[in-house]
Structure 1
Amino acid sequence: MLAKTNDKFVLSLKPENILKEPYNRVELLGSEIIKPTIELVYHLRVAPDSRIVLINWLLFRDDLPVIYDNQFIPYFPGISPWNDDFEYNSFSEIVNQRNHLYITQERIHIEAVGCDAQAAEKLNIPEDTPVMQITQNLMDNDDPLGMRKLYIRKECCKLTGITYLP
């Protein structure tokens, strides 16, 4: 006999679904090709001398910065990981632009952390202020396609899910 599992939820990590109030402005802070940190080497399974595309966004509600979004995608010459208009999209939409052939899955880690100096500066809060950090790893058959880190002001964050009962 199968046991009912009432504690498995579907959770959307689109910014409009994790903010208490919607954002109304997005600012592209920049994109660059970087050398991977030890964390990126581990999570993206890339060589230490490889290159990573880093795209930074800041989402605002009026003049208040509410989400600092860092997207890390392994760099492949000749393949652009962003769309032509460089608009803000969901992370999976950006990565899937270059990966139409495979079914992808996301692994997430959600944790309250003390804000590091860079994220604190972007969110205009003191360093070590608690924020909600959501780390997403996009995978294809257990092979990493990209990683994203969202830093969300704690007073602006909410998580809501739905379960489908058997």
Structure 2
Amino acid sequence: MGQRITIDPITRIEGHLRIDCDVDGGKVKKAWSSGQMWRGVELILLGRDPRDAWAITQRICGVCTTVHAIASVRAVENALQMEVPVNAQYIRNLIILAHAVHDHIVHFYHLSALDWVDVVSALKADPDATSKLAESLSSWHGNGKFEMRAVKERLKGFVDGGQLGIFSN
């Protein structure tokens, strides 16, 4: 006889996801996933000026706004059979690439880093030794003892408050 395992919610992702698994003898026999796919943006856009669609659809996701905006613009252009100038395509590609860099940073530091980094252990660090090491690597003004102590105090405030990230721990 197997066991049903449910993981709900799956954290550190943008959106909502639930996984149900039937496990028997240490092996997954069946698995189901369910997420919130319907956001209702189609109904919000119904009857609106198509030129406003990009500004509305980019709010579907709090992380990947740019790609939703660009996809919306492209959908309107395709529907109207518009020819996009090459320079506009280049600019869009640059915007998308800049967003990709931003997106990687957000996903790592805000969505997954807390699963891999023990933030609380940084409270054991010696700000004086840390600043000495940092100053040996860079002359940046933020590497001093005062700044390192301030970072440690700020981190202590987050830890004492119980909220180490944008999601509940």
TMscore range, shorter length: under 0.3
TM-score, normalised with respect to structure 2 = 0.24
Name the structure with the higher strand share.
Answer: 1
Greater share of residues in helix: 2
Task: Tell which structure's C-alpha radius of gyration is larger.
Answer: 2
